[in-house]
């Protein structure tokens, strides 16, 4: 009888050992599966962010949009992206009022610049949100590098204590790499786009952009009133003949800059061809106000000394003004009227402004 009892106890022990062994292996397998699932989820999220970036490559709001995605993916309280602009750090995206953004100490900033992300988990509040949204107990900081150059950092915050772990560091670092690539591609994209709409010499818009933009305004803003100005440098051929083409180019660049700086933010100045410029004035309060504005530009040009290669010269320009919808139903008619006014200005001796409504 005792032999059966010993055999039973032995079998019971072996069963217990096997059960414990199986449970441990099962637990280890489940932990590996959970870890793999988390890694897979992170990879899927990184791929989704990458696809999103590629879809909105030229969008000026790309960085804020990425920041919004991070908020949704991680379920954090706050997310902010800071980018280094020369010697300062600028907030490029955040979901909180800028005056409540986390202050990165010199020590933490040096850590970020040295490729060292950091995590702060504190049972006591790291700081209390001044906007009344609660205390911050977890914070993570990840540097953003473009190749070996430090270009900014990513700060993510949560009200919960011990919310962040090393897994978050890995994930946010991957996103930071995506942001660096996005910034570089966005810069290159906008540079190519700008070269397609800007005149390479004068730095102002080209004729094609002007036509597309103003035609679209006419199409989409039915009740819009605006003015178009044709401008031509006086006796410019003589400038090139006497002073040389490099001097002539400098005249065009400086005069274009003067005109650009003299108009409002919603106005447009473009190179129409040769030494001719065309200006779109977005606001027309009165015909006389437009005339006075262009007359002031004409006066500034006539008083400006252009210096280049040891030579100095003053220049003049003639202007013709037309108005939409008074002088035409489309851009071609408005430009034709402005061109007629410019022709009259030249007939009247140049260095003058002629308006269709004066």
What's the pLDDT tens digit per position in 202-244?
999 999 999 999 999 999 998 899 999 999 999 999 999 999 9
Say if CB 39 and CB 46 are below 8 A apart.
Answer: no
Q: Quote the radius of gyration of the chain (alpha carbons, Å).
A: 33
> Is the pLDDT score of 136 beyond 60?
yes
User: Higher-confidence residue: 104 or 237?
Assistant: 237
Lowest mean pLDDT of 27-31, 64-68, 287-291, name the range. 27-31
Q: What percent of the chain is predicted at pLDDT more than 90?
A: 42
36 pLDDT tier (thresholds 50, 70, 90): very low
Phi, psi of 325 (to 5 degrees): -100, 5
Considering only 58-67, 166-175, 315-324, which range has the smallest mean pLDDT?
58-67
What's the mean pLDDT when you consider all of the chain? Answer: 83
In CATH, which superfamily holds the domain spanning 56-195? GAF domain (3.30.450.40)
pLDDT tier, 281 (very low <50, low <70, confident <90, very high otherwise): very high
CB-hemisphere CA count at 13 Å for 113? 10
Tell me the β-bridge partners of 312.
307
Alpha-carbon distance of 90 to 275, in angstroms, equals 40
CA distance 198 to 237: 23
Tally of helices (H runs) and strands (E runs) in the chain: 9, 15
Can you tell me the distance from the alpha carbon of 287 to that of 227, in angstroms, rounded to the nearest whole number? 9
CA distance 164 to 153: 17
3-state DSSP helix/strand/coil % of the chain, to nearest 5: 50, 25, 25
- pTM passes above 0.75: no
141-173 pLDDT, tens per residue? 888 888 888 888 888 888 888 888 888 888 888
* DSSP H or E stretch at residue 355: strand 353-355
Nearest to 142 by CA among 182, 97, 111, 100: 111
Greater confidence (118 vs 252) lies with: 252
Residue 110 and residue 89 in contact, taking contact as beta carbons nearer than 8 Å: no
Distance CA 71, CA 66 (A): 9
Q: Which residues contact 263 (CB under 8 A, 6 or more apart)?
A: 269, 279, 281
For residue 272, report the phi and psi dihedrals to the nearest 5 degrees. -85, -35
Amino acid 247: pLDDT = 96
Count of beta carbons in the 10 Å neighbourhood of residue 304: 14
Q: Which of 50-59, 93-102, 230-239, 313-322 has the lowest mean pLDDT?
A: 50-59
Buried-exposed string 27-53: b where 16+ CB fall within 10 A, e elsewhere:
eeeeeeeeeeeeeeebeebbeebbeeb
37 pLDDT exceeds 60? no
Average pLDDT on 125-139 reads 72
205-355 to CATH, choices 3.30.300.30, 3.90.1150.140, 3.30.70.270, 3.40.50.300: 3.30.70.270
Nearest C-alpha neighbor of 141 from the set 127, 163, 114, 120? 120
Inter-residue contact 67 to 82 (CB < 8 Å): no
Distance, in Å, from the CA atom of 39 to the CA atom of 45, rounded to the nearest integer, reads 10
Which has the minimum average pLDDT: 47-56, 205-214, 261-270, 341-350? 47-56
Instruction: For CATH 3.30.70.270, list the domain ranges present in the chain.
Output: 205-355
Start and end residues for every CATH 3.30.450.40 domain found in the chain: 56-195
């Amino acid at each position: 009888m005792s032999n059966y009892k010993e055999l039973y106890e032995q079998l019971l022990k072996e069963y217990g050992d096997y059960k414990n062994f199986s449970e441990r292996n099962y637990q280890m397998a489940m932990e590996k599966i959970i870890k793999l699932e988390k890694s897979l989820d992170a990879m899927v999220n990184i791929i989704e962010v990458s696809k999103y970036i590629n879809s909105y490559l030229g969008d000026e709001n790309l960085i804020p949009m990425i920041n919004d995605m991070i908020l949704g993916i991680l379920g954090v309280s706050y997310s902010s992206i800071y980018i280094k602009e020369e010697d300062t750090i600028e907030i490029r995206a955040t979901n909180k009022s800028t005056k409540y953004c986390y202050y990165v100490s010199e020590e933490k900033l040096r850590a970020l610049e040295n490729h060292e992300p950091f995590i702060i988990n504190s049972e006591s509040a790291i700081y209390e949100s001044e906007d009344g949204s609660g205390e911050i107990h977890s914070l993570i900081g990840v540097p953003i590098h473009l190749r070996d150059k430090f270009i900014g950092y990513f700060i993510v915050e949560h009200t919960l204590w011990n919310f962040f772990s090393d897994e978050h560091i890995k994930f946010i670092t991957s996103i930071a790499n995506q942001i660096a690539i996005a910034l570089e591609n966005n810069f290159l994209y906008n540079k190519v786009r700008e070269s397609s709409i800007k005149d390479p010499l004068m730095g102002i818009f080209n004729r094609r952009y002007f036509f597309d933009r103003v035609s679209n305004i006419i199409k989409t803003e039915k009740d819009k009133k605006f003015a178009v100005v044709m401008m031509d440098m006086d006796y410019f051929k003589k400038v090139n003949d006497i002073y040389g083409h490099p001097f002539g180019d400098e005249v065009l660049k400086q005069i274009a800059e003067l005109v650009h700086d003299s108009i409002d933010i919603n106005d447009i100045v473009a190179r129409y061809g040769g030494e001719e410029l065309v200006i779109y004035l977005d606001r027309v309060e009165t015909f006389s106000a437009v005339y006075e504005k262009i007359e002031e530009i004409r006066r500034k040009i006539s008083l400006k000394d252009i210096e280049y290669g040891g030579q100095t010269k003053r220049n003049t320009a003639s202007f013709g003004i037309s108005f939409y919808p008074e002088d035409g139903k489309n851009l071609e008619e408005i430009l034709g009227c402005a061109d007629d006014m410019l022709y009259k200005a030249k007939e009247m001796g140049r260095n003058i402004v002629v308006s269709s409504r004066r």
